[in-house]
Amino acid sequence: MDVKTAAIQVLQQAGTALHAKDIAEQIMAAGLWQSGGKTPDATVSARLYSDIKSNGDKSPFVKVGPQTFALRDSTEISSGAAPVPAAVEEAPKHHPNAGFSFTDCAQKVLEEFGGKKPMHYKEITEKALQKGWLVTGGKTPEATMYAQVITEIKRQQKRGERPRFVQHGRGYVGLSQWMGRGLAFQIEQHNHQVRKVLRERLLAMKPGEFEEFISQLLAEMGFEMVEVTKLSGDGGIDVRGTLVVGAVVRIKMAVQVKKWKLKNNIQAPVVQQVRGSLGAHEQGLIITTSDFSAGAIKEAAQPDKTPIALMNGEQLVMLLMEHGIGVHRSTPDLFEIDEEFAMGGDVK
């Protein structure tokens, strides 16, 4: 069974949105699919995200949060890209406070039961239903709760407002009022340390894990049909995919990844090797945890040759943080490392 079919079966049984890690664990435990790589959750996330990008509204999946997916045909999933709130029934007379919106219920639960600590959206929903604050005819109120909270955060951020809620990763949510103000410098210092740790953990990954990890990032960036090549005989190419821009431009890309230590910069011969390994109508991309020498940069930009795009370690880390891979936001501006982020391996 392929990943897509297995994921559909798991999500149908769950009846709610699941993180890619949970989907991977469940489909492997059920024997529906087995991964040949060390990071099956990255493979699942990349495949589902690629399906959404390729098929749009026809995809059976929707992305409702960082690496979190639900089924589009849920009774609470619209034809758009995100769940919509279920209809709220008229509040029973014995519950005078019933009938709050999902987000208002989330705030009330966090204020009464959170103790200034984040709670999982499933627990928030359960408490809201128990207290009679939330009345819904929907079958998956947990998915709707999480989607509505995330939607509000994004909407308020776009408006330049301070969001009411804060994402803490893995479905946990807190209130922004619990966070201190005037901490811009401390936040920047903290995020700088997170970037440093993230880079160190990239260096600690095994080669196959690193390639799977990069494939997940490419899928999040808008690549479709992302595939990791075989570990041997790849001609120097580690990942292949198609970069889609505005659903109009499609560029076939061949990607080589280099997990090298800092100051061990990529040299011009590596660029030449990638260019020589390109297939018909392909362009090249080299991604490294280190940096590029002046010669490599010059070689990549040769006007009379196929261009080779370059992504150094600093750019890689920033893109990972932007797309919530290996990290999560504890506030709109504050990042934390995902402690489940893989470690172990050798670097050149």
Under the phi-then-psi rule, with left for phi > 0, alpha for psi from -120 to 50, and beta for the rest, what region is 146? alpha
What is the rounded CA–CA span in Å between residue 83 and residue 144?
6
In a shared domain, residues 200 and 296: yes
Supply the pTM of this predicted model: 0.52
In a shared domain, residues 11 and 122: no
Could you report the per-residue pLDDT of 95-128, keeping only the tens digit for each? 444 457 889 999 999 999 998 889 999 999 999 9
pLDDT for 74? 56
What is the rounded CA–CA span in Å between residue 47 and residue 261?
29
In a shared domain, residues 166 and 192: no
In a shared domain, residues 209 and 234: yes
pLDDT for 1? 80
Contact 151, 121 (CB under 8 A): no
CATH number at residue 266: 3.40.1350.10
In a shared domain, residues 148 and 197: no
Domain that holds residue 108: 102-179
In a shared domain, residues 213 and 330: yes
Instruction: Count how many domains the chain has.
Output: 3
In a shared domain, residues 53 and 7: yes
In a shared domain, residues 163 and 304: no
What is the rounded CA–CA span in Å between residue 45 and residue 52?
11
Higher pLDDT, 278 or 75: 278
Higher pLDDT, 81 or 303: 303
Contact 95, 89 (CB under 8 A): no
Q: Which of 48, 71, 94 is the last residue of a domain?
A: 71
In a shared domain, residues 174 and 233: no
What is the rounded CA–CA span in Å between residue 146 and residue 172?
9
Mean per-residue pLDDT, 311-339: 84
Q: Is 13 contained in some domain?
A: yes
Q: Which of 27, 54, 71 is the last residue of a domain?
A: 71
Q: Is 347 contained in some domain?
A: no
Q: Is 12 contained in some domain?
A: yes
Q: Is the pLDDT of residue 76 over 50?
A: no
Full 3-state SS string of the chain: CCHHHHHHHHHHHHCCCEEHHHHHHHHHHCCCCCCCCCCHHHHHHHHHHHHHHHHHHHCCEEEEECCEEEECCCCCECCCCCECCCCECCCCCCCCCCCCCHHHHHHHHHHHHCCCCCEEHHHHHHHHHHCCCCCECCCCHHHHHHHHHHHHHHHHHHCCCCCCEEEEECCEEEEHHHCCCCCHHHHHHHHHHHHHHHHHHHHHCCHHHHHHHHHHHHHHHCEEEEEECCCCCCCCCCEEEEEEECCCEEEEEEEEEECCCCCCCECHHHHHHHHHCCCCCEEEEEEECCCECHHHHHHHCCCCCCCEEEECHHHHHHHHHHCCCCEEECCCCCEEECCCCCCCCCCC
Q: Is 315 contained in some domain?
A: yes
In a shared domain, residues 207 and 313: yes
- What type of residue sits at position 265? N
Q: Is 60 contained in some domain?
A: yes
Contact 191, 174 (CB under 8 A): no
pLDDT for 129? 92
Q: Is 96 contained in some domain?
A: no
Q: Which of 179, 199, 215 is the last residue of a domain?
A: 179
Q: Is 83 contained in some domain?
A: no
Q: Is 97 contained in some domain?
A: no
In a shared domain, residues 332 and 194: yes
In a shared domain, residues 212 and 151: no
Could you report the per-residue pLDDT of 279-308, keeping only the tens digit for each? 888 999 999 999 999 999 999 988 888 889
